[in-house]
Chain A
Amino acid sequence: MLAEPLMDEQSGLSKTVEAEIGSGLKRLYGQMLSEPIPEKFAGLLEQLAKSSGGKTERS
């Protein structure tokens, strides 16, 4: 079946397992990254911009 897997000397895990964990992590994180951003954040940033005295570089 599989050849003797290469082991990572640091973690003691095989490269296959490390790759599997890496891809699982990227998928989980990617799913969080792709979630829609609630409106309240844009509102907060607008509010912060206004509260800093209208000194932003508005055109």
Chain B
Amino acid sequence: MSDGPSLKFQSELTKLLPNLRAFARSLTRSSDQADDLVQEALVKAWRNWHQFAPDSNLKAWMFTIMRNAHLSERRKRKNEVQDVEGEFASQLSAKAEQPGHMDLIDFQVAFAKLLPEHREALVLIGAEGFSYEEAALMCGCAVGTMKSRVNRARTKLAALMGIESAAEIGVGEASDVFVRATG
């Protein structure tokens, strides 16, 4: 056996924990499942650290590991009916209100309703700031596919939140004019 990962590897992983947890939450929509996923990914990373090229992007590498682990878990569980939207939405409810902005809970509920590949694309591009090329590589799809996923995700989000036209967004009173998806 070769030497284990360096302390540097360990500290880099530690620094990435917030991002790993946030990405896992976006994938699973459940904090318990997310933490399980992060733990699994850390163990896998540790076992396969020698496959990581030191000058490449550790976050992209970890996200790819996590994404693959999540997909195989989802295949295993595909017969279980799960509704985690409610849980996802309730987790942040206590601290979500901010005046003058769109209602974060509405946004979160709509986000949770998106297709998994759309949530993933939005987060990688819109929140993590990966390039379309990087995200496509991580997700094993064409760059054009990644672009169209992001566009569809945005369109779907806007529709779910009832903000299909700019005129519906009032400055400073945005949360009042959004049509709630459920009556």
Q: Do A and B come from one complex?
A: yes
Whether A35 and B157, one on each chain, are in contact in the complex, defined by CB atoms closer than 8 angstroms, is no
Size of the A side of the interface (Cβ < 8 Å), in residues, is 43
Whether, in the assembled complex, B17 has its beta carbon less than 8 Å from a beta carbon of chain A, the answer is: yes
Whether B126 and A25, one on each chain, are in contact in the complex, defined by CB atoms closer than 8 angstroms, is yes
Q: Name the A residues within 8 Å of B17 (CB-CB).
A: 37, 41
Q: How far is the CB of B152 from chain A (nearest CB, A)?
A: 8
Size of the B side of the interface (Cβ < 8 Å), in residues, is 53
- Give residues in B with beta carbon < 8 Å to A: 1, 3-8, 10, 13-14, 17-19, 21-22, 25-26, 35, 38-39, 42-43, 46, 92, 95-96, 98, 101-102, 104, 107-108, 111, 122-123, 126-128, 147-148, 151-152, 154-155, 157-158, 163-167, 169, 174
- Give residues in A with beta carbon < 8 Å to B: 1-2, 5, 8, 10-18, 20-29, 31-35, 37-38, 40-42, 44-45, 48-49, 52-53, 55-58
